[in-house]
Amino acid sequence: MSKILCVLYPDPVSGFPPVYARDDVPEISVYPNGQTAPTPEGELGFKPGELIGSVSGELGLRKYLESQGHELIVTSDKDGADSMFDRHLPDADVVISQPFWPAYLTPERIAKAKKLKLALTAGIGSDHVDLKAAAERGITVAEVTFSNSISVAEHAVMTALALVRNYLPSHQFANNGGWNIADCVARSYDIEGMTFGTLGAGRIGLAILRRLKPFDLKLHYYDPHRLSADLEKELGLTYHSTPESLVKVSDIVNLQTPLYPSTTGFVNDAFLAKFKRGSYLVNTARGALCDRDAIVRALESGQLAGYGGDVWFPQPAPIDHPWRRMPNQGMTPHISGSSLSAQARYAAGTLEILQNFFDGKPIRPEYLIVDAGNLAGTGANSYKLS
Ligand code: NDP
């Protein structure tokens, strides 16, 4: 029997289950690169479209795990030495966590988790796990690659449009009973003709470029690995061999690089000074890619015309986090990858990974981040240990 410790975000304050706005979600069985969506065996423990990412939803895992004789603990209490998470960690065999409400698996916590064999991210992005410490301990780290990539791409496109067109303040004027057209449009532009540059053109970055193509922007990208000539031609992409050369010409900059030691805080004062004045910065990758206070300074000085996204550090962001109140921002809590549509896919992927793990079958390489003491699968492409 194994103990599975699952950390999920709290239920809605308005009650669980919610009243659903719709009765179904489209079924996606194949992703744009040909990878199949999760294929767990047997019944899903939920109906796609249900809220399963919060504590009471339990990712729909209880029936399967208990039928196999395992123990499932689900909690949102994850921070502080006396948290439920810390209390159960020492004898947990598997930890499941989500980037939206991450249970940070620091080296200290990994040292306490003597029985831990699998750290599973129900979503994408396993930077809340100290990958080096996990590799040294022989812990497998896996995530549900591609499950919510398109969800995030949609959020990034929405954020770029909302910032450039000054949507959020204009909506606020309408809510407040105003008709202040001049106030609304004094910061409102079209994205048509602008230059959009993404730092990182992997699954999400590329999906954003594809979605923006019909808006007639000039599309630029930087990535350590250049895309194929065919793809560059199809989308009319301009490749930059350095991030600096991309930000110098971009009106809208998008961050889509993974967070690892050498990308932490790389968007700092010195880097922001190289942007065009009045650029917009969209970040749905990770909050800690940016120097928190440098972003505030750039918005206050006008070096950035806007900043938006859904990722913060730490999460949940404290009430006094300056990104909540800085000017010209379009921040949301970390929601882009946890739409009800995305939840159905990452919960099914979590089930598939658990089934393989308990049946002693290999986990798909595209789901692996760390295995057998080193970066593996997707992790070997996307992450670095230093
Ligand atoms: P991918 O691994 O498909 O793409 C990441 C890309 O970034 C790869 O092409 C990689 O290059 C590139 N890259 C690595 N290092 C750098 C660097 N220093 N500068 C520029 N590019 C770099 O990941 P996804 O597109 O699926 O996801 C990207 C990130 O988005 C995740 O790591 C995660 O942090 C975040 N995310 C956020 C979510 C949310 O809910 N907001 C949900 C899902 C993901 P290469 O592999 O070619 O070397």
- pLDDT digit string (tens) for 231-267? 999 999 999 999 999 999 999 999 999 999 999 999 9
Same domain, 105 and 10: yes
Domain boundaries, position 24? 3-147+338-376
Looking at residue 46, its pLDDT comes to 98
- pLDDT digit string (tens) for 156-201? 999 999 999 999 999 999 999 999 999 999 999 999 999 999 999 9
366 inside domain = yes
Of residues 37, 25, 44, the one with CA closest to residue 351: 44
10 touches 79 (CB < 8 A): no
44 inside domain = yes
Burial category of 177 from C-beta neighbours within 10 Å (exposed 0-12, middle 13-18, buried 19 and up): exposed
Same domain, 270 and 129: no
Average pLDDT, the chain: 97
Q: How far apart are alpha carbons 334 and 344 in whole angstroms?
A: 17
Same domain, 343 and 319: no
Same domain, 239 and 198: yes
CATH number of the domain that residue 141 is part of: 3.40.50.720
Q: Which of 204, 335, 340 to mutate to test the pocket of ligand 1 (most atoms within 8 A of CB)?
A: 204
Same domain, 62 and 193: no
Same domain, 89 and 212: no
Query: What 8-state DSSP symbol labels residue 295?
Result: H
Same domain, 290 and 182: yes
104 inside domain = yes
Record the pTM: 0.97
| Nearest atom (ligand 1) to Cα of 127 | 34
142 inside domain = yes
For ligand 1, atom 39, the nearest C-alpha belongs to 337
- pLDDT digit string (tens) for 4-37? 999 999 999 999 999 999 999 999 999 999 999 9
Q: How far apart are alpha carbons 338 and 76 in whole angstroms?
A: 16
32 inside domain = yes
Is the model's pLDDT at 81 over the cut of 90?
no
- Report the domain count for the chain: 2
Same domain, 47 and 125: yes
Q: Which of 131, 203, 223, 262 to mutate to test the pocket of ligand 1 (most atoms within 8 A of CB)?
A: 223
Is the model's pLDDT at 386 over the cut of 90?
no
- pLDDT digit string (tens) for 338-383? 999 999 999 999 999 999 999 999 999 999 999 999 999 999 998 9
Looking at residue 172, its pLDDT comes to 97
Same domain, 127 and 154: no
Same domain, 116 and 222: no
Looking at residue 351, its pLDDT comes to 98
Rounded mean pLDDT, 110-129:
98
**pLDDT band, residue 77 (cuts 50/70/90):** very high
**CB of 286 closer than 6 angstroms to any ligand 1 atom:** yes
Ramachandran assignment for 181, one of left (phi > 0), alpha (psi -120 to 50 degrees), beta (any other): alpha
Same domain, 243 and 315: yes
Instruction: Give the list of residues 6+ apart from residue 360 with CB closer than 8 angstroms, or none.
Output: none
Task: Please report which helix (H) or strand (E) contains residue 246, including its range.
Answer: helix 243-249
Same domain, 122 and 154: no
